[in-house]
Amino acid sequence: MNPRNGAQSLLDALATGGVDVCFANPGTSEMHFVAALDGAPGLRGVLALFEGVATGAADGYARIAGRPAAVLLHLGPGLGNGLANLHNARRAHVPMVLVVGDHAGYHKRYDAPLESDIDAVAHTVSGWVRRSATADEVADDAALAVSVSRAGQIATLILPADASWNAVRAADTDAGVPAAVLAGRAEPAATAAAMDTAAYWLRSSNPQTALLIGGDATDADGLAAAARIAEATGARLLCETFPTRLRRGAGVPPVERLGYFAEAAVAQLTGVTRLILAGARAPVSFFAYPGMASDLVPPGAEVLTLAGHRGAAAALAALADELAPGTTASPAPADRPTPPTGPLNALSLAAAVGATLPENAIVVDESMTAGMGLPAATAGAPAHDVLSITGGAIGYGLPAAIGAAIAAPDRPVLALQADGSAMYTISALWTHARENLDITTVILNNGAYDILRVELQRVGAENAAAPGPRAAELLDLGRPDLDFVQIAQGMGVPARRVGNAEDLAVALAESFAEPGPHLIEAMLPSIFSVAG
Amino acid sequence: MNPRNGAQSLLDALATGGVDVCFANPGTSEMHFVAALDGAPGLRGVLALFEGVATGAADGYARIAGRPAAVLLHLGPGLGNGLANLHNARRAHVPMVLVVGDHAGYHKRYDAPLESDIDAVAHTVSGWVRRSATADEVADDAALAVSVSRAGQIATLILPADASWNAVRAADTDAGVPAAVLAGRAEPAATAAAMDTAAYWLRSSNPQTALLIGGDATDADGLAAAARIAEATGARLLCETFPTRLRRGAGVPPVERLGYFAEAAVAQLTGVTRLILAGARAPVSFFAYPGMASDLVPPGAEVLTLAGHRGAAAALAALADELAPGTTASPAPADRPTPPTGPLNALSLAAAVGATLPENAIVVDESMTAGMGLPAATAGAPAHDVLSITGGAIGYGLPAAIGAAIAAPDRPVLALQADGSAMYTISALWTHARENLDITTVILNNGAYDILRVELQRVGAENAAAPGPRAAELLDLGRPDLDFVQIAQGMGVPARRVGNAEDLAVALAESFAEPGPHLIEAMLPSIFSVAG
């Protein structure tokens, strides 16, 4: 048998580590990785036409599969193109193995046109960065990358082309990494002191104690434990604004999300004197606004961090057994809206989703202003998972839907996608079609960056209530209007436009009934065109 | 009069510095900048739907206008999305003022969801980075940014939201920057020693001396000087592979470009014993390949750097006056191909371009493999400028065309755009339509990453000549086929598809005759589907 090269040993190590998908947008320096795919049947290569699609897909995959996917990018510009969704993944504590191809080691000193500082950029989003110097190091480095990524971080392996194409000398390619390291470490449990304090606060039965959950506590088990605690003690229960993965719907204990706008979050937290964080961080305003506080913890309130992103569900379960033994949480009742009729707006759109959402769907929510009616309208829909734009970098939804659909091929995926944000990574639709993924995309087309029209007012900019024509032009997506039906069809996704609520409900039902990708362009009014 | 805020003082400073366009993709932290546009009539705001469009547009603008445009991006993810075309701009020595909005200074310690290390990423592409701490600093910082960008580099101003919205206390906003700094510095002239050595080498009348030009030497004056030298001395004349801006066509002294593939470049340089660099760097292979040299300077050859990116034309002019006094360079004769007929392929496509190219066009060339016939077919077309993908980061062409068209509204722009590369920044088409730019885009649709199919063989990957199906799938853009006519129409650009050479020639002529944007999808065979 011929000696294996670095790329082949990399794919072996990924497979050994349980990585079974690689979202890829390769270039010349990655050709040996690509060539090696045919010898690695356990690793599925999925082509993205833009790197931000690949990184967003890997994020969506990890959130649903609970394990890392690999991503293959080309040099510094490829990493740059993938950076926005890597930012979201970092903020969501998502496991991911990022392989960035680089020039051959000996080639770097020539400062060829594509040379750039990959390491510096990679460090801004990665919990772990390593550069394999030789082919012999690749397998161990890859094994370590998979292992450390499991702690909920991006592990970046920079792979020089010669480390990829050279033959590996060592026979046992992962002998260097101890088994204990490869298995990954358990998250530290909540400390006894934190558990005691939380129990003491909660036993005070004080409605001014609030439990803010996030991380792994927004899955079914964590929600159940948190709800048992809240129900038994009267504590207020909230979850972070953009959870990594939120289980909700009929049969799942409900949780209110902290508002995106600081004013809303302040109102939700008013009167709280003790705040327990389980998987969430202390609440802060998404942006700063003149004259408003950044820190949303009510003045004078005590804050306790019970558990980090991982381990929150376990800490809450232990706390629930202590504070509310033998209880079960009250689940949300099944309760769908009736299919709506009449004009499309944020409320009728939400009702159409609530009326049609199939069992065990995955909802990727990048709906921005147009999605304001969704939480209420889907609260009693069949149980589903919601993935949200955790780091706030737009262009997440269409790529994340790819990963979610690949991680769970038997579950329907609904991508609720604002129009402006859709355009950042629109080529994701092509991958929806190529992989024949069961994704229903609803483009919420209101012809504007409505969220920025809101923000223009909120930041108190001069003439914000009536911006001048040149400012307004930068927030307007008209002239020309985007036609997402044509764009989607141009990438191979069947598409239709709907202009009223009943047509949207029918289109959703038909799309959910038929496997494969579909796009529905929902024509919505700008919130600024609706009289109060 | 109310005190001006930081954003307003920034726009004032840009206008004072001669910056008249800002390519923008703003977010919440940039709303005061946006609001200030209506009070800054000298600065045109141009909306891009993706940051890579904005940065590529600013690059194209600078290459044609010869001065910097501003770019407005939103936080770290916005900078990431703009990074690939910033890489191209850095490699092209393009002046650019990059404004990256950041959170308010006091907000940063809360590590809000969109917080990331903007500075680290900005340093990888910028020659100069500054963060304005207060509103009072913004005007001076912006004035300096404009000034230092003129040296041919990206000057990045990180603008915290509070520095933008707070009132400026100082009355004279640019008093802090000395006038000499604001005027910019002249590029150092070539040293006497370098001039003497070059003259000595060239006087030897040795055909083994070669002149490799780039930078400002590929404009008309530099080309004329270089050609005079070559004609008088017998030196070989070449220009760099991807010049920032290359003048060519009828009436312009022709220059051969160094080949992209190292084998071609090696052949062009064979026998050269003395290499003079004027605005170009010593030739290196674009990528490393197993068993091939990275350094393309022939073994044993002497290399002299006469001048850098700027100042090369002046050095060549002085040298020409010394070595070839009173001569004029031989221009390329006017010589167009006849309009082609028959099937479309790289040669007939090139002939259609050569037959129809209007006077003084700007050609943005990201044609990759499909453009191989262009240099010969357009050598005698009316004089035109070619912008090329200097840093090798794809997704450059459609954005750069925006900037070129805005810099020269009276000149037709032809974007020759490979299909795979087009998808990275496809939303640029929307800006073509919104600004009603006179851009003819030809999508070279061969349904594949053909360049990677070539590279797969060149890197010697296993089974490269007959890649396995899973490797082949990552290089194939079919299944589904992209329909660029629908995609373009969906973004408001009139489009048509052509399947033979005569239809392409007609479509080009009609598009050139009608102002505004047009897209022509030229259906080409993959080079791997054509029998040798």
Q: What is the pLDDT of residue A162?
A: 96
Contact call for A480 and B434, based on CB within 8 A: yes
Mean pLDDT, chain A, integer: 94
Quote the pLDDT of residue B459.
81
Whole-number average pLDDT of chain B: 94
Query: Quick one: average pLDDT of A350-368?
Result: 97
| Cα of A417 to nearest chain B Cα, Å | 15
Confidence band for B38, pLDDT divided at 50, 70 and 90: very high
A346-529 shares the fold of A192-323: yes
Contact criterion met (CB < 8 Å) for B77 and A91: no
Give the pLDDT of residue B177: 74
Closest Cα partner for B312 from B253, B234, B224? Answer: B224
Residue A290 to residue B456, Cβ atoms within 8 A? no
Which of the four pLDDT bands, split at 50, 70 and 90, describes residue B464? low
Using CB atoms, which residue from A47, A467, A484 is nearest to B490?
Answer: A484
Select the residue of A104, A294, A477 nearest B110 (Cβ to Cβ).
A294
**pLDDT tens per residue, range A204-222:** 866 699 999 999 999 999 9
Q: Does A253 score more than 90 pLDDT?
A: yes
pLDDT in tens, B374-405: 999 999 999 999 999 999 999 999 999 999 99
Q: What is the mean pLDDT of residues A13-39?
A: 95
* Residue B454: band (very low, low, confident or very high) from pLDDT cuts 50, 70, 90: confident
Which residues of chain A neighbour B469 with C-beta distances below 8 Å?
38
Q: What are the structure tokens assigned to B494, written together?
A: 């009139």
Across the range A194-198, mean pLDDT stands at 96
pLDDT at A437: 98
Which of A45, A477, A485 lies nearest to residue B470, judging by beta carbons? A45
* B6-183: CATH, from 3.40.50.970, 3.30.460.80, 3.90.180.10, 3.40.50.150: 3.40.50.970
Overall average pLDDT of the A368-393 stretch: 95
**In the beta sheet, which residues pair with residue A121?**
none
Res. B531 pLDDT band, cuts 50 70 90: very low
Domains of chain B: which residue ranges? 6-183, 192-323, 346-529
Rounded to an integer, the average pLDDT of A107-118 is 97
User: Are the beta carbons of A83 and B288 separated by less than 8 Å?
Assistant: no
CB B497 within 8 A of CB B523: yes
Å between B85 CA and nearest CA of chain A:
8
Please tell me the predicted confidence (pLDDT) of residue A531. 42
Of residues A181 and A277, which shows the higher confidence score?
Answer: A277
The average pLDDT across A351-358 equals: 98
Higher pLDDT, B340 or B176: B340
Distance from CA of A368 to the nearest CA of B (A): 13
**pLDDT at residue B178 greater than cutoff 80:** no
B392/A287 Cβ within 8 A: no
Residue A77 has its nearest CB partner, among B87, B294, B485, at B87
The per-residue pLDDT for B532 is 36
Least confident of A251-260, A369-378, B330-339, B464-473: B464-473
What is the DSSP code string of A146-194?
Answer: HHHHTTTSEEEEEEEHHHHHSBP--SSTTTTS-HHHHH-PPPPPPPHHH
CATH topology for B192-323 is Rossmann fold (3.40.50)
The ipTM estimated for the assembled molecules is: 0.96
CA distance to partner chain B, nearest, from residue A209 (Å) = 22
Q: How many Å lie between the alpha carbon of B325 and the closest alpha carbon of chain A?
A: 36
Query: What span, in angstroms and rounded, lies between the C-alpha atoms of A89 and A97?
Result: 11
Phi, psi of B254 (to 5 degrees): -80, 155
Distance from CA of A360 to the nearest CA of B (A): 28
Give chain B positions within 8 Å (CB) of A469.
38
Query: How does DSSP classify residue B171?
Result: S
Q: Do the chains contact at B50 and A424, CB–CB below 8 Å?
A: yes
Instruction: Name the strand (E) or helix (H) holding B385.
Output: strand B384-388
Which of the residues B5, B10, B25, B28 would you substitute to probe the A interface, choosing the one with the greatest number of A C-beta atoms within 10 Å?
Answer: B28
Does the pTM of the predicted model rise above 0.95? yes
Asked whether residue A164 carries a pLDDT value surpassing 70, the answer given is yes
CATH fold, domain B346-529, is Rossmann fold (3.40.50)
B193-251 pLDDT tens trace: 999 999 999 998 666 999 999 999 999 999 999 999 999 999 999 999 999 999 999 99
Task: Say yes or no for a CB contact (<8 Å) between B107 and A287.
Answer: yes
Is residue B69 over pLDDT 90?
Answer: yes
- pLDDT 10s digits, A63-81: 999 999 999 999 999 999 9
Please tell me which residue of chain B has the smallest CA distance to A479.
B434
- Interface test mutation site (partner B, options A124, A277, A476, max chain B beta carbons within 10 A): A124
Chain B residues whose CB is inside 8 A of the A91 CB are 113
Percent residues over pLDDT 70 in chain B: 96
The DSSP call for residue A18 is T
The 10s digit of each residue's pLDDT in A437-491 is 999 999 999 998 888 888 888 887 766 667 889 999 999 999 999 999 999 999 9
User: Taking CA atoms, what residue in A is nearest to B297?
Assistant: A110
Q: Which residue of B has its CA nearest to A3?
A: B462
* Burial of residue A300 (number of CB atoms within 10 Å: 0-12, 13-18, 19+): exposed
User: Which residue among A124, A430, A490 sits closest to B120, beta carbon to beta carbon?
Assistant: A124
Residue A175 reports pLDDT greater than 60: no
Q: Residue A1: its pLDDT value, please?
A: 52
- Rounded CA-CA distance B465/B454 in Å is 9
Do A49 and B83 make contact, defined as CB atoms within 8 angstroms?
no
For residue A424, the chain B residue with the least C-alpha distance is B50
| 8-state DSSP, B70 | E
